[in-house]
Chain A
Amino acid sequence: MKNISTQPADLRLARLYQERKACHPMPKQLQDEILSQFETTQSQPYWRKTPVWGTTLAACFVLVLSFQFLPQQQSQNADEAIVLQDIAKTEQESLAADLPPKEHATADVQGQQARKKQQSIPAAPSPSLATTGAIVVQAKLLPVSEGQTQRIAIDCLGKPISLGEHNLARLSDDQWLDIHFHHDGTIMRITKNLDFKGCPGD
């Protein structure tokens, strides 16, 4: 519905309006200018006039930014690993304290244990392990007599982890366990110098 009445007065108004409009056409110069501006836009590099390219560039920018933040994240992982290691170290010390009295019989043995314990705890996790998400804690166990078994239990991030009873017969003075943890505190694997039978979480 165009809503223009056919009454004489309205028709006359419409005629006057059209006459007025006809007297003022759009200047040719302006028309040419619009077209030349359009040509300029068209001649711009493809990546500037196509929205898809703009989006792709923006995505690349975000990607680059995220890579920039990655080392910071890795550093956070390393810090986390150190904290976890400290907890494990504390637990390791308490484990040593909980051993049967006969194991701590002489001062010489205790001194030897302390020395070995110190040796067994690494200063910091290696960067390669930190970046792959693994944490290694070396748990030094005391030597036991032939045929004896020992229950190994550690507390990691407030969560008790039982390694079960194992035959430690062949564990000599300079041997220790390498317990590899995941970041969530679960054990990834236990390695080194121990004939380990049925490691839970392995």
Chain B
Amino acid sequence: MAQWLLRWFKTTKQYNTEQLMQAFSETGEAALLDELVKRLGDDIYHYLLSQCDAATAADICQATWLKVIEKRQQYQDKGNVKGWLFTLARNQMLDHMRQAAHWQTLSISGDDHISECMERVVGAEQDLIQFNKMMARLPFLQKEAFILQQEGFSLMQIAEITGENLETIKSRLRYARNFFSQVINLTQQEEAS
């Protein structure tokens, strides 16, 4: 069955991430892992990079994927691979932060790093640079909720990933939205003028 699935995945591209993960958990085929990393690697890495510095993000990202490899046989198809991966990544990150005991400093320095990189990008729009600066100033938990929402997770899924209740998530998202509305409105006004 697993071999058949693998052949089918290789010959057709009509499969979703859940099927891919399911096949990887059954076969342990490197090509499937490669495909998973290509599909979800950027999302995980960006999430981590938004909360940590680049070196730490790379370390945690690697640890997360190693966890996926290690726990692949325990994966149960719940139809939400991305949520599972983000949960693993978040747990890895929190473990790392607890060990390093520098929760607050990381959340700031990470986005500073992104902002600096963004400014170096040729042709970067002003509002994007502004947006990144705002991201750097957004508190850790609100930023986390915002990122997860932008990654396509529902409120319920965000609550599951973060282990918080729904109202807390709503509150954090409202805070983040109000926070960003300042910069959005500002740039819109600048464009209009």
Contacts and interface: CB of A to CB of B under 8 A. Distances in A.
Contacts of B49: 24
Interface string A114-142: 00000000000000000000000000000
B37 A31 contact: yes
A26 B42 contact: yes
Contacts of B153: 2-3
A27 B30 CA distance: 19
A83 interface: no
A99 B49 CA distance: 98
Interface stretch (B8-16, B76-84, B101-109, B113-121): B113-121
A19 B154 contact: no
Q: Is the interface of B mostly helix, strand, loop or mixed?
A: helix
Contact of A3 (B42, B125, B155): B155
Contacts of B125: 19
A16 to B, nearest CB: 4
Contacts of A31: 37-38, 41
B184 A9 contact: yes
B127 A16 contact: yes
A13 B180 contact: yes
Interface stretch (A37-45, A70-78, A145-153, A181-189): A37-45
Interface of A: 1-4, 9-10, 12-14, 16-21, 23-27, 30-31, 33-35, 37-39, 41-42, 51
The residue among A17, A21, A26 with the most chain B CB atoms within 10 A of its own CB is A26
Contacts of B58: 27, 30
B69 A17 contact: no
A21 B46 contact: yes
Interface residues of B, number: 44
B149 A30 contact: no
A103 B177 CA distance: 112
B184 A13 contact: yes
B79 to A, nearest CB: 14
A10 B181 CA distance: 9
Nearest to B28: A42
Contacts of A39: 30
B152 A2 contact: yes
A12 B33 contact: no
Contact of B149 (A4, A9, A20): A4
Contacts of A13: 131, 150, 177, 180, 184
Contact of A24 (B38, B46, B69, B155): B46
Given A1-B154, A23-B121, A34 B65 contact: yes
B119 to A, nearest CB: 11
Contact of B128 (A3, A9, A14, A20): A20
Contacts of B127: 16
